[in-house]
A and B are shown apart, each in its own frame.
Chain A
């Protein structure tokens, strides 16, 4: 009598499971791929270790004693100076010392709470509001924030009105100024951009001509020529005696520049709306104003939201250009602070620090725009 012994199943070959399989299919599938993998590993090897050495292992973190939220954290006995920092690694105490300049510029040190509230408001408006999804009166809360935010921020930062100490615009600087220019640029240029887009799509020949000329002219020239125009020529266009703040001039230039780009983005949205929507609005007897505000724009703006965020990202990058006309934004602080005789020759640290901050902001903005794109893509698949 033969008994059938069931044999245990053999394990799959080692090359067909787990990490080995993954390596074989993704990194070493052919000899070309293997060579490429080795080449990129070598590239990483010659780039990453020196970078880490400079930024962390050879760098100085001797901040002295740092007071963080009421706790004293002791990094070292005393703060490092430029001399005992060494040149083979980064000197982060320099950044720590100049952090105030990078964040607030020349803002009076006693009034720091005011920009801090504005930073908090900005975070609330741009981070928390889009993330928190459902609650009562969401639209109303968002709308009132969008209207209140510029007013409250202006009062807080500029001061005056007999309540707060006035702070003139040449004391604004650093990240604060970068954020101000970016938000004012976006908020002011957006309505102008929508009007220009409607103007370019209009049947009225004169309005169409002017809108098209404006948009095409602005888009053809670099921002720096517009900023020069705003800073050198704009005062000449006004009646003599009208003094114009330097920051305000830059803001006018940036807002007009950005309006042209927003206009093109919104026009893309307008063109994507089927003709039937326009015709239906006409058929039920809506006026031009009603047709656009109630029917066309809500749909067109919704389609163009990802591109609007994309265009805002470009604007945020472009704010750095104001240093050319002598405003001290975050990037301008690098040269300014490393001219300090006590911290000579630390530009590289400054550039790396600004790069990290700017990159973090811009990268999160671009992730956000991609998320929006995906969300609106699924909703429009009917």
Chain B
């Protein structure tokens, strides 16, 4: 930079007016503006952080992350997070963070699967040649897209705890599952000794199916002969673990919920907070996914389908080999963005008390400890990491789907 200023001074020597030339020199100006921005931003941060420390000292708030080791001392609504992390009120605040994280990831995972299924269904129904189906799908999208997600979460939660029956009059589905105000009671799977082998068989099945698919693809590339791989896939991924399961002697027991005098005993309770949250998030996000799917299918040129028919592909082959690969290229990136939105929106669970990150760690712990800076920084970091992960996934998918130039 020093050289640059000297240069511009040197160049302008024969003209006389040094300062004027420096003022109108593009690079000097750019340098000047960047220095100003830098100084302003750093100055702002410096003042803010300085004030922050003054205020913290004046109010007697603690700093640092030692609060993470303190005893939490409050109950958390029992759900998967508590089971995975093994939480009791005696656990530390850091454990609360893990419980919240697990619950956030659980709701995001289930929500992503459900919203994709609903979105696919509605997106395809929207393009149906059946008038009623197409209009119903359109109505679904217009209805749920234009209602704030927070309102939907509150509405479903309120409805669920009001219309579901008391535990005494639980709705029973063949004595296997029960539905009442306290949630959905499902049989609790209890894996026994040999179950690890079944899980292992499942993994091996997936890997083997992948290689078999690769093998037949290669064969097709070389010889042109096409082999359907789905029977192999089905047999390896589902049949193989099932055979192992029965060979070992059914190493998985279920603990069924039993209707007692006042309450249900045993089983695995899915709390109504989770049901309402997952339902609202899936229904809302599905409207966006449906629109993405629809625009993807509409983006495929009509000529593509006609060309596929002309070279003698069956309708199913045409859909599988010609239309879908092109439609997905358009539909997948916005869908992945919606997955990120769903994960971020799951933080709204704090209004109904589902124990995810922002309601346990960013809510109760924040109120007890009062160290807002540290706690919010940790929570934001989690969402940053999730978002970074999803952007990486998006980049990978985009690269994979890129139209290959010749």
Contacts and interface: CB of A to CB of B under 8 A. Distances in A.
Interface in B108-141: 128-133, 136
B34 A204 contact: yes
B69 interface: no
Contacts of B372: 228-229, 232-233, 236
Interface stretch (B229-237, B245-253, B327-335, B378-386): B378-386
Nearest to A213: B41
Given A26-B131, A221-B383, A347-B158, A358 B147 contact: yes
B358 A225 contact: yes
Contacts of A232: 366, 372, 376
Contact of A33 (B129, B145, B351): B129
A259 interface: no
A206 B34 contact: yes
Interface in A309-366: 313, 317-321, 323-324, 331, 334, 347-348, 351, 354-355, 358-359, 362-363, 366
Interface string A221-236: 1111100110011011
A207 interface: yes
Contacts of B130: 26-27, 29, 33, 36-37
B358 A224 contact: yes
Given A240-B51, A240-B55, A320-B150, A228 B376 contact: yes
A210 B154 contact: no
A323 B148 CA distance: 13
A339 to B, nearest CB: 13
A287 to B, nearest CB: 10
B56 interface: yes
Contact of B143 (A219, A220, A225, A359): A359
B228 interface: no
B376 A236 contact: no
A217 B384 contact: yes
Interface stretch (B188-196, B292-300, B341-349): B341-349
Nearest to B136: A40
Given A233-B372, A317-B149, A334 B33 contact: no
Nearest to B345: A222
Contacts of B30: 203-204
Interface in B39-56: 41, 48-49, 51-52, 54-56
Contacts of A359: 143, 146-147
A355 B344 contact: no
A223 B344 CA distance: 8
Given A37-B133, A206-B38, A331-B151, A240 B33 contact: no
Contacts of A348: 158-159, 162
A177 to B, nearest CB: 14
A320 B151 contact: yes
A41 B132 contact: yes
A239 interface: yes
Given A37-B133, A204-B30, A359-B143, A225 B362 contact: yes
A69 interface: no
A225 B382 CA distance: 11
Interface residues of A, number: 54
Contacts of A302: none
A44 B136 CA distance: 9
B350 interface: yes
A318 B347 CA distance: 13
Interface in A177-236: 203-207, 210, 217, 219-225, 228-229, 232-233, 235-236
A45 interface: no
B156 to A, nearest CB: 9
A19 interface: no
A151 interface: no
A309 to B, nearest CB: 13
B380 A355 contact: no
B151 A351 contact: yes
Contacts of B388: 220
B158 A229 contact: no
A358 B267 CA distance: 40
A362 B142 CA distance: 10
Given A224-B348, A228-B362, A239-B51, A26 B129 contact: yes
A225 B132 contact: no
B366 A318 contact: no
Given A207-B34, A229-B376, A236-B51, A27 B131 contact: yes
Nearest to B362: A228
B373 interface: yes
B58 interface: yes
Nearest to B156: A351
Interface of A: 26-27, 29, 33, 36-37, 40-41, 43-44, 203-207, 210, 217, 219-225, 228-229, 232-233, 235-240, 313, 317-321, 323-324, 331, 334, 347-348, 351, 354-355, 358-359, 362-363, 366
9 contacts: A37-B133, A203-B30, A206-B37, A220-B384, A221-B384, A232-B366, A236-B51, A237-B51, A331-B151
Kindly list the 4 A-B residue pairs having the minimum CB-CB distance in the complex, ordered from nearest. A220-B387, A26-B131, A232-B372, A362-B146
Interface of B: 30, 33-34, 37-38, 41, 48-49, 51-52, 54-56, 58, 128-133, 136, 142-143, 145-151, 154-155, 158-159, 162, 344-345, 347-348, 350-351, 358, 362, 366, 372-373, 376, 379-380, 383-384, 387-388
